[in-house]
Chain A
Amino acid sequence: MGTEKADILVGIASFNNAGTIGHVVKAVDAGLLKYFPDKKAIIVNSDGGSKDGTTDIVKTATHDHDAIFLSHPVYPAHRISIPYNGIPGKGSAFRALFRKVVDIQADACCVVDADLRSITPEWIELLLSPVIQKGFDFVAPLYSRHKFDGTITNSIVYPVTRALYGKRIRQPIGGEFGFSGKMADFYVSQDVWESHVARFGIDIWMTTEAIVNDFKVCQTFLGAKIHDPKDPGSDLADMLLQVVATLFNMTERHYDKWMDQKGSSDVPTFGFRYHVGLESVKVNAEKMLNIFMAGLKDLRNIWMDIMGPGDLGRIESLGSLTGGSFRFPAGLWSDVVYDYAIAYHRKVMSPEHLIRSIVPLYLGKTASFVLEAENMEQEGAEAEIEKLCLEFESKKDYLVTNWK
């Protein structure tokens, strides 16, 4: 039985997303019909064994085509649900999608999260057109997000990726991506599927590999990203571990690519940027500060092994700042992150302990940002993130010098 070929594949990785996946499938279907009516497309749901009927919804979700497409009759794209093998996680689900892209010899592919509430048909056009019409290999998303949302992106992943590889991809772990068949072929041939890449490390891995292997990269503005709250049963510190461990692994693997890189430059950006009303996000800065202070009291010896007396002394001096006056300077934060990258490289301790020990520092930095940006507009908060990125870029020599 031969594999049927298609021009476009849209992948949706899911696990118990019955509440939202119907809307996602409808939006994808409408997007394909509206913007790529002459292309043969397939929607593939890579499911991690949902028990809530997610896969049934993928097959049955329909919308009123006549209401959307007034001028011509259209037919929905073919849909399939495939289970994946390997370590349970988003990365393994993506691997199954990459394989499918290669099997059906698709020219372009995009992946979207199954828990999205704000996805529209236009997202499909915005993620696929740069690949189909402009020849790009990798399309990263660009969203409007609340100033307190996506703090791991803002305080670690974006500044480090930008400083190391010199590309200003604002949402390197956004979750939605477009890519070419060539890019999928590259991804599937890599031997990383027993690592954190098989879980939440997949996003930063995809972005970094696309940059360092000289694929044509760009970003596209999708508007606001609103998704379901994360599963409260899952340990969010595990996500931090998987993302940061993959980020540091990439740093380790691609030393020769980032060592000589100075400064950073914009990547081509598509989509019409507009102001979006955003859902407010509540953060408990006091709780974060308490964990930072607990770390200061109890993790001193571990931090000493990682940062040494100089930076640890500067961290300890923050302990005297209380409440609203607490500030974690951007320069100190960049030094801390680089200290951690160096300690990871030197194998100072078990990688898991090392990365988990950054959590109180990260929460301290996040609390500082929340207090500082409390009364700022979105633009002001973004300007603070820009300052932080420039700190990471200007202090990169510290990382290069101490790497060997």
Chain B
Amino acid sequence: MDNFMELLLHSLRAFGITILQFVPNLLAMLIIFIAGYLFSRLIKLLFLRVFRIINFDSWCDKAGLTAIIRKGDIWSKPSDVFGGLIYWFLIILFLVIGLSALRLQTIDNLISQFFLYIPRAFSALVILIAGYIFAGFISRAVLITAVNSGYHYAKILAEAVRLLLIVLILAMALEQLRIAPGIVIAAFSIVFGGIILALAIAFGVGGIDAAKRIINGGEGRPVSPESKDKKKNNEKERDAEYF
């Protein structure tokens, strides 16, 4: 009986010691949470002020970032959106730091994985944002050039270029995030290769004469004196159009 009581008391003592050891960790976690919350709010306010000073919203309008945000059905100002992102990033960061203060093996493992993943997530985000802006820029250049050349399907061509670039950018971002990399690379290769093959077939079938002229260095078709005159007139017309 004495042995039993001793065993019971020992367990309770051990539990008490564990609790006593855990309570400071818990307190440290709570303090980190509260300090992190206050720090995050402060940083958010600071960023909002800086955004306002540098006219961040207007820059986002010009760079097309506002349009991207609106497409995601988010109607806040870009500065609020980015301020919110920074705020939540810091909250999650402090949450993770706070949890690490508990010194639990399982949580420690999760945290180390989380920190290892941050650079990849950040790279993917940068690829997405820069890629979206780049795709918009190239698409607009294609649209303007095609319209100025009198091409009838300018908008379709520009949208096709944008789509192609976005597919490429998404594949790069997913590959960076290591989300099913094998499937992403295979899917991208199939889609991209398919598009190139389709274009090659379309050119081969529809542009056989043009291809022949290119291969022959522009000598695929004899130039009659009449067409020479016509070319000269066109040159004159173009000359007149601009200067």
* A residues neighboring B (CB under 8 Å): 146, 148-153, 173, 229-230, 232, 236-237, 239-240, 281-284, 287-288, 290-291, 294-295, 297-299, 302, 347-350, 352-353, 356-357, 359-360, 363, 366
Contact pattern, B 226-243, Cβ under 8 Å of A = 1, otherwise 0: 000001111111111111
Closest B residue to A240 by beta carbon equals: B242
Contact (Cβ within 8 A) A302 B140: yes
| Complex A-B, nearest 6 residue pairs according to Cβ-Cβ distance, in ascending order | A229-B235, A281-B240, A359-B148, A298-B155, A236-B242, A356-B144
Cβ-defined partner of A237 (8 Å) among B148, B152, B234, B236 = B148
* B residues neighboring A (CB under 8 Å): 62, 137, 140-141, 143-148, 150-152, 154-155, 158, 231-243
> Using a Cβ cutoff of 8 Å, how many contacts connect chains A and B?
93
Closest A residue to B150 by beta carbon equals: A291
Shortest CB-to-CB span from A152 to chain B, Å, is 5
Given contacts A229-B236, A353-B140, contact A236 B147 (CB under 8 A): no
Cβ-defined partner of B141 (8 Å) among A146, A281, A353 = A353
28 residue pairs of the A-B complex, CB under 8 angstroms, read A146-B240, A151-B241, A151-B243, A153-B243, A229-B239, A230-B235, A230-B238, A232-B238, A239-B242, A240-B242, A282-B240, A284-B237, A287-B150, A290-B150, A291-B147, A291-B148, A294-B151, A295-B147, A298-B155, A299-B143, A302-B143, A302-B144, A349-B62, A353-B140, A353-B141, A356-B145, A360-B147, A363-B241
Shortest CB-to-CB span from A296 to chain B, Å, is 10
Q: Which residues of A contact B137 (CB under 8 A)?
A: 350, 353
Contact (Cβ within 8 A) B147 A283: no
Bound complex: CA A357 to CA B150 (Å): 13
Shortest CB-to-CB span from B240 to chain A, Å, is 4
Shortest CB-to-CB span from A34 to chain B, Å, is 30
Bound complex: CA A186 to CA B152 (Å): 48
Bound complex: CA A237 to CA B146 (Å): 12
Not counting A149-B240, A298-B143, a sample of 16 additional A-B residue pairs whose C-beta atoms are within 8 angstroms of each other reads A153-B243, A229-B236, A232-B231, A232-B234, A232-B235, A236-B238, A239-B243, A281-B240, A282-B236, A291-B147, A294-B147, A298-B146, A356-B148, A357-B144, A363-B241, A366-B241
